[in-house]
Structures are given as structure tokens and as C-alpha cells.
Copies of this chain bind each other. A is one copy, B any other.
Amino acid sequence: MYARMSEITTASPDTESPKRHDILCAAGDLFMRSGYGETSVDAIARAAGVSKATLYAHFPSKEALFATIIHDACRTHLAVTSVLPEGVADLRSALRGMGRDLLNFLLQDRALAIHRVVTAECQRFPELGRAFYDNGPGLFRRALAAWLERQQGAGRLRAGDMAVAADQFLGLLRSGLYLRATLGLARPAEAEIDATVQEAVDTFLRAFAPPD
């Protein structure tokens, strides 16, 4: 079921010292959990098992450390190619598989935390919203639009702007469930996720299937 969920790419240089790695891990956890303002450098150093001086030897400031964390996190995303298959026999089941993979990915603790932190701090760090969007939702949206255009070319979808259709399919997927998850309300059960995906696909295909 979650087989493809393991296919997550994270672009990390990994030419880093062990201590630097510990600092990044600890800072990532704390920033994701509590946001920028409520996370202290003391707490990060303590959690990483290093002194503050060591931390400041690797990062010039708390802001720089935060920016590094978030930008790295924004480059962690679904392997788009594995979720949008090339050879499609049945469009409905392809949409269902893709929708389930994507929604499960979006509802992960880590993904929700990134979205929360970026939403919270994008006023203080204006480039953050852009980095997140371009590496996450925007990237997937473009790939999905291109994929839908190929389906359209194969006669499986009616005429129309597939960029809009992509946005709308993602909107249908996120409808309700995802909003409630970002607000920290009850984590959706597996069955609820599947139902949302199925409803999204049904509605999407009723609206975008070619007229017969």
C-alpha cells in the first residue's frame, strides 16, 4: 500500500561533519515542532549534544540555521516520476493511485510540519514561501498538468486548460481532510483518506471526461 511512499528524494550535500549533521537533525526536529521564535539555540545545542559555541562555528546565526533547515526540507519531496506513471491503461485507477500516494505523503507528520512552519514564518522570511511552493506544490502542479495534457492528447480528457485542471484536482484532494490536518485536528484514518481520494477522482472525471 505504502510501497511507493518510500520513494522520497532528499537532496543533501552530505559532505558534512558528524556534529554538523547532529545540529541539523536536532534543529530540524525542534523548528518543525515549535517554530522559529519558540525554539532557542540553547535547546538546539542541548538536543544535538554540542555546545552553543560549536553550533555557532557551523552556522553564523540562528536565522541562517533556520533558513538552511527549511530550504533543505523544501527539497524533500515525492519522487514525481514514480507517482505519475508513463504508461496508463486505466485513467481512473491511475488517478486513484496517484491521489492516494500524494494525499498520504501530504498527511505525513513531517510534510505537515514543513507546511506549518513555512506558513508561519513566510512573513518574517519572505523567500521561504517561494522556496516551499516551487519545490513542493508548484513543482507537482506543473508535472501533473503536463501528465494530464498527455492523457488529454490520448483522448481520455475533454478539451480545456490542464493547468487549471491540475490545480482543481489538487484542490479536490485537499478538500476538507487536509485543512483539518494542518489545524491539528483528528488525524484522518486510512479509510477516510481512501474515501476522499475516491470522491475527488469521481468528481474530477465527471467534470473532465470527454463528452460522448
User: What is the interface of chain A mostly: helix, strand, loop, or mixed?
Assistant: helix
Within 8 A of B (CB), among A37-69: 37-38
CA distance A191 to B164 in the complex (A): 15
> Does A108 sit within 8 A of B, measured CB to CB?
no
CA distance A126 to B183 in the complex (A): 9
Indicate whether A120 sits within 8 Å of B35 (C-beta atoms), given known contacts A167-B176, A200-B168, A206-B206.
yes
**How close is A165's CB to chain B, nearest CB, in angstroms?**
8
| Total copies of this chain within the assembly | 2
> Does A36 sit within 8 A of B, measured CB to CB?
yes
Interface size class on chain A is 35 or more
Residue-wise interface mask of A (110-121) relative to B, using a CB-CB cutoff of 8 A (1 in contact, 0 not)? 000001111111
* Smallest CB gap from A173: residue in B: B171
> A185 touches which one: B133, B167, B171 (CB < 8 A)?
B133
> A168 touches which one: B172, B182, B183 (CB < 8 A)?
B172
**How close is A171's CB to chain B, nearest CB, in angstroms?**
3
Using CB atoms and an 8 Å cutoff, list the residues of chain A in contact with chain B. Answer: 33-38, 115-124, 126, 128-130, 132-133, 137, 141, 164, 167-168, 170-176, 179-180, 182-185, 199-200, 203-204, 206-208
